Amino acid sequence: MAFYLKNIPTEQLFSLVSLIFVLLAIYINSVEPLSFNYNKLTLGNSGVILQGDAHILESGYLALTNSTPLPPDTYLPTTGRALYPTPLTLWNDTTGQVASFSTSFSFIVQSQEGGGATDGLIFFIAPQNTVIPENSDSLYLGVVDGKNAINQFVGLEFDLYPNSFDPNMRHIGIDVNSLISLKTREWNWVSGSLTTVSITYNSPSNKLSARVRSETGELSSIEQVVDLKTVLPNIVRIGFSATSITAVAHNIHEWAVHEWSFGSDLGTTTSNVSNI
């Protein structure tokens, strides 16, 4: 027997359409939250997308840059990035709802020449087709094309070398489409020491928050209001990028996403992240 919508009374048809939208909204908001936890035992088999000079060390750690010692007074640009293998839904293009998330990671930056270090490391969110931009080595951290004013990303940077557009200190910064940070905090980097980071984005308040702890226990906090929906497309990738012109190791030791979900309020602190 054929079934035609035109045979349904208008009031019933309206009720049916409304029910479909309600069920769709329930389905969208009930999608299983994403979580993962990589460490040196699992990074090599994680399927992480490696770009540029990024590689997995024999130790199992993720190296973003080439840290082979160089002859004295020799400079060799190196850029590497690592991306989570699956694109993620940042905001729902049907409901407009933005995801809340929390992630944590630990890393070391170590000069192989016993001196200072360049240039830095950044955790970033970018469109799903992101690749290393042209002209993005050295001070551009592998996320900004130095000859193009249009760049699309949100990131938390760990800057080892103050440039003309930076505060005159090593610093942590929250970046939106530019490496001229919206908010900065001093970063007391020690070569070879472990830095542990937790990041939370609370979608109801649009607040991006981070806590950074040094190996000695020193704690820094930074936060900034960022409306991710106006900055990024609905499908994105997350990952790390690092650059240097000297022999400096930028190694990720652990990386976890504790929650990436819709319809949740993670709060404005990162107390739900263990060991932070």
Q: Does residue 80 belong to any structural domain of this protein?
A: yes
Report, as an integer, the average pLDDT of 42-51.
Answer: 84
Range of the domain at 238: 33-261
**What pLDDT shows up at residue 201?**
97
Q: Does residue 176 belong to any structural domain of this protein?
A: yes
Q: Does residue 20 belong to any structural domain of this protein?
A: no
Of 46-50, 80-84, 198-202, 211-215, the one with minimum mean pLDDT is 46-50
Mean pLDDT of the chain: 82
**What pLDDT shows up at residue 23?**
37
Instruction: Give the rounded percent of residues in the chain with a pLDDT score beyond 90.
Output: 54
- Using the predicted structure, report yes or no on whether residue 276 has a pLDDT greater than 60: no
**What pLDDT shows up at residue 50?**
96
Identify the band that residue 148 occupies on the pLDDT scale cut at 50, 70 and 90: confident
The partner residues of 198 in beta bridges, in order of sequence, read: 104, 211
- Using the predicted structure, report yes or no on whether residue 218 has a pLDDT greater than 60: yes
**What pLDDT shows up at residue 139?**
84
Identify the band that residue 54 occupies on the pLDDT scale cut at 50, 70 and 90: very high
Instruction: Give the rounded percent of residues in the chain with a pLDDT score beyond 70.
Output: 81
**Closest by Cα among 43, 171, 172, 195 to 110:** 195
Better pLDDT: 264 or 142: 142
Q: What is the DSSP string of the chain?
A: ----GGGS-HHHHHHHHHHHHHHHHHHHHTSPPEEEEE-TTTGGGS-PEEEET-EE-TTS-EE-S------TT----EEEEEE-SS-EESB-TTT-PBPEEEEEEEEEEEETTSS----EEEEEEEETT--PPTT-SGGGTTT--TT-S----EEEEEESS--TTS-SS-EEEEEESSSS-SEEEE----TT-EEEEEEEEETTTTEEEEEEE-TT--EEEEEEE--HHHHS-SEEEEEEEEEESSSEEEEEEEEEEEEEESS----SS-TTSTT-
The partner residues of 74 in beta bridges, in order of sequence, read: none
Kindly report, residue by residue over 8-42, the tens digit of the pLDDT. Answer: 565 544 444 443 343 344 333 434 467 889 887 67
- Using the predicted structure, report yes or no on whether residue 273 has a pLDDT greater than 80: no
Determine the Cα–Cα distance for residues 221 and 209; give it in Å rounded to an integer: 8
Q: Does residue 273 belong to any structural domain of this protein?
A: no
Q: Does residue 14 belong to any structural domain of this protein?
A: no
**Closest by Cα among 108, 133, 105, 111 to 48:** 105
Q: Does residue 157 belong to any structural domain of this protein?
A: yes
Domain count, the chain: 1
Q: Does residue 150 belong to any structural domain of this protein?
A: yes
Better pLDDT: 80 or 271: 80
- What's the CATH code of the domain at 194? 2.60.120.200
Identify the band that residue 275 occupies on the pLDDT scale cut at 50, 70 and 90: very low
Kindly report, residue by residue over 228-251, the tens digit of the pLDDT. Answer: 999 999 999 999 999 988 878 889
What is the Cα Rg of the chain in Å?
21
- Cβ atoms 148, 168 nearer than 8 A: no
Q: Does residue 249 belong to any structural domain of this protein?
A: yes
Kindly report, residue by residue over 90-131, the tens digit of the pLDDT. Answer: 999 999 999 999 999 999 998 876 656 678 999 999 999 999
Identify the band that residue 68 occupies on the pLDDT scale cut at 50, 70 and 90: confident
What is the identity of the amino acid at 276? I
